[in-house]
Chain A
């Protein structure tokens, strides 16, 4: 599932590269980018189309939900929001386990096995 992130970015040293690194090197594929400098030259309005990178099994794709918070960590970022609300299908499962987008929650077994 892809999503479009809208980012307001200060026109600071390396800000665009830093933004794309924060997205593309931390679990998400960058599918497209547009960037436009504001009239006063102080900010970029950036849209980044992304989808979670699909790792080899048993890895699971990173949840899209945390991406805005990940991007807002950057000091150059003034705001970051998805252009549209994410569809419920991308929500992580219920009790236990890591995120597994689109799949129902695994039922916990409650069993703990020890190998000695």
Chain B
């Protein structure tokens, strides 16, 4: 680095030193020195059309690769527009670094133009945050920000840099090398492993309850080795889907509010529940006091504060999941009868895809898409009914192929996350499954697709309603429909075409195979606009605050 460079250039060099190849952002007053410095940088800047798109795209990039995603915004409204994306990353433990411009240090605290205390606003939704007051601190802060974001339980880190710090000359600063040591969590205690092994050896009806933490810990191979040896039936959370391939016989399905009957039934009956990288989220457990009521719990997690947070744990294993899973890998011959029972449940309650009618049956469409897509197809979702149908019916083979806003439930996640994922994984096909409510939350990012010719495919499932809210109003609010009707949606094909994105309609079931052909095979961005009945609901459903044993299974096609 030259003897004297502005702080903004130090930030750029630090990004390069971290191996960043793509950042997502939107310029403005307080971040202008940084935008001046990135000209000629080794990384690519993607200009989104709303800062929320930048944060969610960084999240998509991170989720698809495990690498740190980076987003940039100016002070004030630029930063507040990042907040939803930062919160989304926090709730799903996605590693991102958000770099924000701030007003000059002497103006801070004076209600200056575009001054917002983004450090304060984001305190509850970041893993950590920095306000850089001295240019000399930039190398250390940037190195620490990346290390913190990706280590242990990953999460978002905010780096707020006042404009005068970006402009200040840094003298003889050396970038700090990436420290890749100590990035694995510590090994769990032998005592905790021993206790868990004893519980498993004594169990007759164990179930694995598997969340997104396994993939985040890069422990997929160890997990699959453990399952292969122990042959314990298992259920996944929304974020855990793909940890074991969906077509493995031991995989019963997703559990929880929209889980399959065999999954919830097995969990309710088990005597040992092995929670691996999950957190007893209310959407997974239903009424917590009645969740797995007969089970002793083994809880494995990198985050010690998750163990015992919501459910008493007989054996808490805190630390590196790879080590824990390797240590617990052994056969459990005594559970053969239970395994057969679970597999019988799976056969008995298998989904029937032969729905009557000529209209598009979304579960069948998504199953066909999953069956025909290869292992290099990434699905991003928005939030709502389509999101649950994807989780239930697509069939995932790896967790990083399913990018969904689980904890936060961020409508508008799908399209920007798909942009981030596609740029991170150009070798993959990326399909965004969205709804007519969600797509409008970040539809401006169609312009980003066009500008960079990003070949994201969009499967837009349109029921002219906020479907999940409509479903709840139908079931739990006496069909008193309130503010869910989207009868006046724009013509999404024309909207896409106005942005320069090719698009087409899918009106009937017979059109689905051809539509999937196009989604899987065409080059460049593409939007398929699928019309479905407004009355379609997601089944099964555990009513709010009820036990998972009290599922509603109202689809006449299903058992």
Interface residue ranges, A against B (CB under 8 Å): 13-14, 17-18, 21, 25, 58, 60, 62-63, 65-66, 69-70, 72-75, 92-100, 106, 108-110, 112-116
Contacts and interface: CB of A to CB of B under 8 A. Distances in A.
Contacts of B295: 95-96
Interface in B515-559: 545, 549-553
Given A14-B120, A75-B128, A112 B303 contact: no
A95 B148 contact: no
Nearest to B559: A116
Contacts, number: 92
B177 interface: no
B305 A17 contact: no
From A66, A74, A96, A116, residue with most partner B Cβ within 10 Å: A96
A108 B123 CA distance: 40
Given A17-B120, A25-B124, A112-B265, A66 B292 contact: no
A-B interface, 9 closest residue pairs, ranked by CB to CB distance from nearest? A69-B305, A98-B288, A69-B304, A70-B305, A96-B293, A92-B312, A97-B289, A112-B268, A75-B128
Interface string B273-310: 00000000000000111101111100000011101111
Contacts of B176: none
Given A75-B128, A96-B294, A98-B289, A113 B310 contact: no
A22 to B, nearest CB: 8
B294 A66 contact: no
A13 B288 CA distance: 38
From B269, B289, B551, B552, residue with most partner A Cβ within 10 Å: B289
Contact of B312 (A25, A58, A94, A113): A94
Contacts of B309: 62-63, 66, 70
Contacts of B287: 58
Contacts of B392: none
A100 B312 CA distance: 10
B289 A65 contact: no
B148 A109 contact: no
A108 B550 CA distance: 17
B311 interface: yes
A27 to B, nearest CB: 9
A115 B305 CA distance: 35
Given A73-B305, A98-B310, A110-B293, 20 more contacts: A13-B131, A14-B123, A21-B124, A63-B308, A63-B309, A69-B304, A70-B305, A72-B305, A75-B127, A92-B312, A95-B296, A96-B289, A97-B288, A97-B290, A97-B311, A106-B289, A110-B294, A112-B265, A114-B550, A115-B550
Nearest to B312: A92
Interface residues of B, number: 39
A23 to B, nearest CB: 12
A99 B144 CA distance: 36
Is the contact region of chain A dominated by helix, strand, or loop, or is it mixed?
A: loop
A24 to B, nearest CB: 10
A115 B552 contact: yes
Contacts of A14: 119-120, 123, 129, 131
Contacts of A116: 551-553
A108 B205 CA distance: 15
A107 to B, nearest CB: 10
B545 A114 contact: no
Contact of A113 (B131, B305, B545, B549): B549
Given A21-B124, A58-B545, A112-B265, A75 B148 contact: yes
26 contacts: A13-B133, A14-B123, A17-B123, A58-B287, A65-B308, A70-B305, A70-B309, A72-B305, A75-B128, A95-B293, A96-B295, A97-B289, A97-B290, A97-B293, A97-B311, A97-B312, A98-B289, A98-B311, A99-B310, A100-B289, A110-B294, A112-B269, A114-B265, A114-B550, A114-B551, A115-B552
